[in-house]
């Protein structure tokens, strides 16, 4: 019997629910889950820690040469240490999109991401997965939600993570700013692949979205 590979690409703007949904699908279908945003966030964290300006491409690229980013047991490692919590901080949110615009940074990440997809069945989420990283994925989903709902979700998430001195308005501005940079950059901008199924999660629960995706996969 031929073992058919299952590769699922998930893209969408900040706070649409991509990673929560992708994690659930991974559990149910026993797939590996790759959060590509975490990889860009890990590099951003290192740049911030090194005190390098996010616009200083030359020094960022130098730093990247001695950087190792990988996943192990669903944790993200930066130079051998897990950074799951640090990469979700506000300072990383506010700088990640600028660093993610850099051509060489993207080339490096895409190379890593494709090599992860060579050996296992997986679901990968990000901004350019269906369009650039895995254009031959078996299924592609584009997950969206209204900007207000995305702002509310991210605000709640940050409050739960003890980042108390933030306002909903600040979060909304931050998300709008990140969406704008991600969607208008020259290389691999955030956009729906023509062959992706679009799922608007604004008024749906996670379970409803997961069921919708599973129905599509099982039907095809």
Residue 201 in contact with ligand CDP, rule: CB under 6 A: no
By CB under 6 A, what part of segment 24-83 binds ligand CDP?
36-37, 40-41
* Count of residues interacting with ligand CDP (CB under 6 A): 16
Q: Which is nearer to ligand CDP, 97 or 144 (CB)?
A: 97
Compare residues 135 and 215 and give the one whose CB is closer to ligand CDP: 135
Q: Which of 48, 60, 97, 151 binds ligand CDP (CB under 6 A)?
A: 97
* Site membership for ligand CDP, residue 153 (CB under 6 A): no
| Of 42, 47, 83, 96, the one binding ligand CDP by CB under 6 A | 96
Radius of gyration of the chain, Cα coordinates, nearest whole angstrom:
17
Residues 114-133 that bind ligand CDP (CB under 6 A): 126-129
In angstroms, give the least distance from the CB of 107 to ligand CDP. 12
Of the two residues 3 and 161, which places its CB atom closer to ligand CDP in the complex?
Answer: 161
Question: Using the rule CB under 6 A, is 174 a contact of ligand CDP?
Answer: no
182 vs 199, beta carbon nearer ligand CDP: 182
Q: Provide DSSP, the chain.
A: ------EEEEE--TTSSHHHHHHHHHHHHT-EEEEHHHHHHHHHHHHHHTT--TT-HHHHHHHHHT--EEEETTEEEETTEE-TTGGGSHHHHHHHHHHTT-HHHHHHHHHHHHHHHHHS-EEEEESSIIIII-TT-SEEEEEE--HHHHHHHHHHHHHHTT--S--HHHHHHHHHHHHHHHHH-SSS-S---TTPEEEE-TT--HHHHHHHHHHHHHH-
Stretch that binds ligand CDP, among 46-54, 66-74, 96-104, 194-202 (CB under 6 A): 96-104
Supply angle C-alpha 144, 175, 26, rounded to 5.
45
Q: Please enumerate, by residue number, every residue annotated as part of a binding site for ATP.
A: 12-20
Q: Provide the binding-site residues for ligand CDP, judged by CB under 6 A.
A: 14-15, 19, 36-37, 40-41, 96-97, 100, 126-129, 178, 182
């Amino acid at each position: 019997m031929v073992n058919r590979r299952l590769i699922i690409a998930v893209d969408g703007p900040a706070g649409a629910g991509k990673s929560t949904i992708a994690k659930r699908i991974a559990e149910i279908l026993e797939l590996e889950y790759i959060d590509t945003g975490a990889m860009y966030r890990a590099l951003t964290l290192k740049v911030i820690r090194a005190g390098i300006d996010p616009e200083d491409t030359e020094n960022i690229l130098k730093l990247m040469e001695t950087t190792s980013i990988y996943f192990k047991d669903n944790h993200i490692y930066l130079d051998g240490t897990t950074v799951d919590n640090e990469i979700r901080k506000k300072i990383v949110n506010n700088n990640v999109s600028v660093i993610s615009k850099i051509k060489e940074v993207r080339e490096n990440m895409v190379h890593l991401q494709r090599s992860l997809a060579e050996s296992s069945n997986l679901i990968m989420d990000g901004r350019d997965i269906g369009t650039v990283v895995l254009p031959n994925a078996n299924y592609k989903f584009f997950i969206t939600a209204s900007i207000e709902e995305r702002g509310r979700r991210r605000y709640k998430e940050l409050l739960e993570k003890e980042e108390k001195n933030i306002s909903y308005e600040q979060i909304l501005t931050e998300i709008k700013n990140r969406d704008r940079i991600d969607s208008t950059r020259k290389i691999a901008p955030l956009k729906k692949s023509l062959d992706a199924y679009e799922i608007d999660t604004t008024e749906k629960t996670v379970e409803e979205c997961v069921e919708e995706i599973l129905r599509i996969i099982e039907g095809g």
